[in-house]
């Protein structure tokens, strides 16, 4: 049981003078419980990878299957993959929040009562009271509320694979934490693929990291392998260092002799910096 992306290659405007390759032979497996973090510079193909994984852009070659069913086949893979678009709040269309969130489950053939129950449960799971927010008009929401409603609309379908395209962009710290908590909860019953420019929020709990460059996989590995490769990825302009390892890299660049590997853990980093400082200043005290 997995979302299997096999050698996915994707061209926009294929066959025309404007043809451009956005994804080049990318393979990836996402299983239930996984959190795969996808990083890469702007234009590197992250959104295209998620669209391909959701079956909404055609592949030039390769395949994507959810639990053995091709995602391009709506009859077999229906509802198994849920995609939260980059800037999803631009896509509200119902007159109320509850109707917008109930649309997905209703469209999957669930009864009206079940669709509304799924919508309400999803709104609660993103920290919004269905009684208060359900009757609201989507365009009356604040940016952070709108993002959470959009996430609820995807969660209401109860997808087995949840694809999130920059879900924390533009949110305040509370909103970002709410998204992180939802991701943690969803992993009990789904696999999650998240594209983010906010790696510190998701990396500590990630099961794998993928870095794209010009549509191809430039790095794939565990979080600790990613931290090991980070100096090279940063130098190549393929990844931005999260705050904690960035502080360590800056200290090392200034001559601090660090005793351990790069880490995301604030306390461990503080101990490394303190040790480096006491080593430097040891004779001065």
Ligand X SMILES: Nc1ncnc2c1ncn2[C@@H]1O[C@H](COP(=O)(O)OP(=O)(O)OP(=O)(O)O)[C@@H](O)[C@H]1O
**Positions that interact with ligand X (CB under 6 A):** 12-13, 20, 22, 40, 42-48, 86
- From the list ligand X, Mg ion, none, pick the one residue 20 interacts with, judged by a Cβ distance below 5 to 8 Å according to partner type: ligand X
Site string for Mg ion, 147-166 (x = CB under 5 A): --------------------
Q: How far is the CB of 244 from ligand X (least distance, A)?
A: 23
In angstroms, rounded to a whole number, what is the distance separating the alpha carbons of residues 14 and 145?
Answer: 38
Closest listed residue to residue 60, CA positions, set 3, 30, 22:
22
Using CB under 5 A, which residues numbered 62 to 91 contact Mg ion?
A: 86
- From the list Mg ion, ligand X, none, pick the one residue 6 interacts with, judged by a Cβ distance below 5 to 8 Å according to partner type: none
- From the list Mg ion, ligand X, none, pick the one residue 80 interacts with, judged by a Cβ distance below 5 to 8 Å according to partner type: none
Q: How far is the CB of 166 from Mg ion (least distance, A)?
A: 7
Are 39 and 96 spatial neighbours (Cβ–Cβ below 8 Å)?
no
Are 244 and 200 spatial neighbours (Cβ–Cβ below 8 Å)?
yes
Task: Name which of 47 and 80 has its Cβ closer to ligand X.
Answer: 47
Closest listed residue to residue 187, CA positions, set 164, 171, 165:
164
Q: How far is the CB of 16 from ligand X (least distance, A)?
A: 10
Closest listed residue to residue 51, CA positions, set 67, 41, 38:
38
- From the list ligand X, Mg ion, none, pick the one residue 48 interacts with, judged by a Cβ distance below 5 to 8 Å according to partner type: ligand X
Task: Name which of 85 and 103 has its Cβ closer to Mg ion.
Answer: 85
Task: Name which of 11 and 145 has its Cβ closer to ligand X.
Answer: 11
Q: How far is the CB of 40 from ligand X (least distance, A)?
A: 6
Q: How many residues bind Mg ion (CB under 5 A)?
A: 3
- From the list Mg ion, ligand X, none, pick the one residue 279 interacts with, judged by a Cβ distance below 5 to 8 Å according to partner type: none
- From the list ligand X, Mg ion, none, pick the one residue 74 interacts with, judged by a Cβ distance below 5 to 8 Å according to partner type: none
- From the list Mg ion, ligand X, none, pick the one residue 12 interacts with, judged by a Cβ distance below 5 to 8 Å according to partner type: ligand X
Please give the biggest Cα pair distance in the chain. 75
121-139: burial string, b at 16+ Cβ within 10 Å, e else: ebbebbbbebeebbebebe
Q: Which stretch, 24-32, 39-47, 207-215, 217-225, contacts Mg ion (CB under 5 A)? A: 39-47
Q: Please tell me whether residue 47 binds Mg ion under the rule CB under 5 A.
A: yes
Task: Name which of 87 and 257 has its Cβ closer to ligand X.
Answer: 87
- Where do contacts with Mg ion occur on this chain (CB under 5 A)? 46-47, 86
């Amino acid at each position: 049981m997995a979302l299997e992306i096999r050698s996915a290659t994707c061209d926009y405007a294929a066959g025309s003078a404007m043809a451009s390759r956005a994804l080049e032979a990318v393979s990836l497996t996402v299983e239930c419980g996984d959190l795969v973090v996808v990083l890469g510079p702007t234009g590197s193909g992250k959104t295209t990878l998620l669209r391909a994984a959701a079956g909404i852009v055609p592949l030039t070659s390769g395949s994507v299957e959810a639990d053995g069913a091709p995602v391009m086949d709506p009859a077999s893979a229906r509802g198994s993959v849920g995609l939260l678009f980059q800037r999803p709040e631009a896509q509200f269309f119902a007159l109320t929040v509850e109707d917008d969130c109930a649309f997905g489950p209703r469209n999957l053939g669930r009864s009206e009562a079940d669709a509304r129950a799924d919508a309400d449960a999803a709104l609660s799971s993103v920290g919004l009271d269905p009684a208060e927010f359900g009757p609201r008009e989507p365009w009356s929401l604040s940016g952070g509320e709108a993002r959470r409603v959009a996430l609820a609309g995807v969660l209401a379908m109860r997808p087995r694979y949840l694809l999130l395209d920059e879900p924390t962009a533009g949110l305040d710290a509370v909103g970002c934490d709410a998204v992180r908590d939802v991701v943690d909860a969803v992993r009990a019953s789904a696999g999650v693929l998240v594209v983010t420019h906010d790696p510190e929020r998701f990396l500590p709990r990630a099961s794998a990291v993928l870095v794209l460059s010009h549509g191809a996989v430039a790095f794939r590995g565990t979080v600790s392998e990613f931290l090991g490769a980070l100096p090279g990825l940063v130098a190549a302009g393929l990844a931005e260092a999260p705050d904690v390892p960035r502080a360590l890299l800056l200290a090392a660049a200034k001559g601090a002799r660090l005793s351990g590997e790069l880490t995301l853990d604030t306390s461990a980093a503080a101990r490394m910096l303190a040790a480096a400082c006491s080593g430097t200043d040891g004779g001065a005290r």
